[in-house]
Amino acid sequence: MIDINLIRTNPELVKENIKKKFQDNKLPLVDEALALDSKRRALIAEGDALRAARNTLSKKVGECMKAGKRDEAEQIKAQVKADAERLLAIEKESEEVEAALKKTMMTIPNIIADDVPIGKDDSENVELQRFGEPKVPEFEVPYHLDILEKLDGIDVDSARRTSGQGFYYLTGDIARLHSAVLTYARDFMIDKGFTYVIPPYMIHGDVVSGVMSFAEMENMMYKIEGEDLYLIGTSEHSMIGRFMGQIIDGNKLPLALTSYSPCFRKEKGAHGLEERGIYRIHQFEKQEMVVVCRPEESEEWYEKLWSYTVELFRSLDIPVRQLGCCSGDLADLKYKSCDVEAWSPRQKKYFEVGSCSNLTDAQARRLAIRYKDSDGKVKLAHTLNNTVVAPPRMLIAFVENHLQADGSVVIPEVLRPYMGGKSVILPKND
């Protein structure tokens, strides 16, 4: 959510930003916000004037009574009563206007960075850098599900019977590999100075509406029936929610946190579930990075965060690239974002394995996340998040890039201590 002062002082900038995101249907919201804000301030002024007058009139009633001016005192009492009734009406109307303004403000997108490429959707995202040499082996690389099944590592048929489409069982060495990658990623981030956290996997509705837009919420979140609880779609949700309504000691900033959680997603919308495979599913696990910092630090942290994901994937001998997300592909709360994509030898192209975002103060304003600086001033913090690793997609990249001609999968050296020293996963005998 952007600052109302920006809309007051530069509404054309806000409108131009909406156009850059190809959301022209939201242009009327700027004028609507201005009108509601004007109405709100007028009500506040009228209410303050009535409260001030009430004190004056009450004092005057006493003076009239002492002077024997009963008729005048009764007239003033009537005025006090009328003002009190009007004040109640103002307070009720103010609540309604405040709620309408908040709803409108939460729908207006955050101002995007100057260097965000302009484009309508993810097809216009821009490759920024490549890391590692993408290779295609001389032998044919099978579909990832076929590779995993040959390794006796996955059972999607049973999962469909127990849970439906979008779920899977991991077994044997592949299940162990899944856990090994998460544990390695955890230690990798701890070595970078991040504090490890395991957060709640359910959050209240006010946290959900604070960390994401309404459209994202509808397409992603599962609600617990009969309760004000939602299953998290990523640990970022509960990690940022942890600081809701807090004033953080500025001396403790930046807060660099890495969190593990299962994640649950409806996967509604344009992409939807995969009919076959584990690229887009309802349930997965993830290691995440979250940073809460001062505004002047967030650009530097953004560069650090995505580079850590690149470093982790390269340590596992997986080629990756950084893809700058264009304006039309940015969620409303994001200032800028980039994807880290891994190389797929089978598809001979890259695919998304992580996403890094700087949300500036958009989440912090929604959730009232502030800090007290050394000068005693209370300011809004900036928040950032980034995927360290999400094993379902990591597993796809992993098995494709480390597959051998005989169907075995080589374990990179850095991961072997987490696999009990195992250096290779062998296919099952037919």
Q: How many domains does the chain have?
A: 2
Q: Do 170 and 42 fall into the same domain?
A: no
Report the pLDDT value the prediction gives residue 409, as an integer from 0 to 100: 97
Range 201-206 average pLDDT:
93
Q: What is the CATH number of the domain that holds 46?
A: 1.10.287.40
Residue 100 and residue 128 in one domain: no
Residue 359 near residue 335, CB atoms below 8 Å: yes
Is 217 a residue whose pLDDT tops 60? yes
In the prediction, which pLDDT does 200 show?
A: 95
pLDDT tens readout for residues 53-112: 777 776 676 666 767 777 777 676 777 777 788 888 999 999 999 999 999 999 999 999
pLDDT score of 213 more than 80: no
Question: 187 and 287: one domain?
Answer: yes
pLDDT at residue 48 tops 90: no
Q: Is residue 21 part of a domain?
A: yes
> Of residues 218 and 372, which shows the higher confidence score?
372
Q: Does residue 229 form part of some domain?
A: yes
> Residue 52: is its pLDDT beyond 90?
no
Give the domain-ending residue among 80, 105, 130. Answer: 105
Tell me what pLDDT residue 67 has: 72
What pLDDT, on the 0 to 100 scale, is given for residue 386? Answer: 97
pLDDT attached to residue 72: 72
Please say which residue of 44, 76, 105 terminates a domain: 105
Instruction: Determine, yes or no, domain membership for 112.
Output: no
pLDDT at residue number 428: 87
Cα–Cα nearest to 383, from 285, 241, 202: 241
> Is 32 domain-assigned?
yes
Q: Is 228 within a domain? A: yes
Q: Are 86 and 48 in contact (CB under 8 A)?
A: no
Predicted confidence at residue 54, as pLDDT, reads 73
pLDDT score, position 286 = 95
Domain match, 51 and 162 both: no
Give the pLDDT of residue 275.
61
| Rounded Cα–Cα distance for residues 402 and 400 (Å) | 6
pLDDT at residue 241 greater than cutoff 60 = yes
pLDDT value, residue 430: 60
Q: What pLDDT does residue 427 have?
A: 93
Cβ atoms of 45 and 142 within 8 Å: the answer is: no
pLDDT number for residue 391: 86
Here the CATH number for the domain that contains residue 262 is 3.30.930.10
Question: Could you give the CA distance from residue 351 to residue 344 in angstroms, rounded to a whole number?
Answer: 7
* 239-247 mean pLDDT: 96
Residue range of the domain that includes 74? 4-105
The answer as to whether 260 is a domain residue is yes
373 found inside a domain: yes
Q: What is the 3-state secondary structure (H, E, C) of the chain?
A: CCCHHHHHHCHHHHHHHHHHCCCHHHHHHHHHHHHHHHHHHHHHHHHHHHHHHHHHHHHHHHHHHHCCCHHHHHHHHHHHHHHHHHHHHHHHHHHHHHHHHHHHHCCCCCCCCCCCCCCCCHHHCEEEEEECCCCCCCCCCCCHHHHHHHCCCEEHHHHHHHCCCCCCEECHHHHHHHHHHHHHHHHHHHHCCCEEECCCCEECHHHHHHHCCHHHHHHHCEECCCCCCEECCCHHHHHHHCCCCCEEEHHHCCEEEEEEEEEECCCCCCCCCCCCCCCCCCEEEEEEEEEEECHHHHHHHHHHHHHHHHHHHHHCCCCEEEEECCHHHCCCCCCEEEEEEEEECCCCEEEEEEEEEECCCHHHHHHCCEEECCCCCEEECEEEEEEEECHHHHHHHHHHHCECCCCCEECCHHHHHHHCCCCEECCCCC
Average pLDDT estimate for 247-256: 96
Structure confidence at residue 273 (pLDDT): 53
| 101 plus 127 within the same structural domain | no
Percent of the chain with pLDDT over 90: 79
Question: For residue range 330-362, what is the model confidence (pLDDT) as tens digits?
Answer: 999 999 999 999 999 999 999 999 999 999 999
What pLDDT is attached to residue 429?
A: 76
72 plus 138 within the same structural domain: no
**100 and 159 both lie in a single domain:** no
What does the mean pLDDT of the chain come to? 92
Residue 332 CB: number of other CB atoms within 10 A?
A: 22
Looking at the structure, do residues 31 and 126 belong to the same domain, yes or no?
no
Which residue among 60, 78, 105 closes a domain?
105
Q: Are both 324 and 221 inside the same structural domain?
A: yes
Answer yes or no: do 92 and 182 share one domain: no
What confidence category does residue 51 fall into, taking pLDDT thresholds of 50, 70 and 90?
A: confident
pLDDT band at 317 (very low <50, low <70, confident <90, very high): very high
Same domain, 75 and 177: no
Tell me, yes or no, whether 111 lies in a domain. Answer: no
Q: What is the predicted pLDDT for the residue at 421?
A: 96
Q: Both 94 and 138 in a single domain?
A: no
pLDDT of the residue at 218: 75
Residues 259-301 have pLDDT tens digits of: 999 999 887 655 555 567 788 889 999 999 999 999 999 999 9
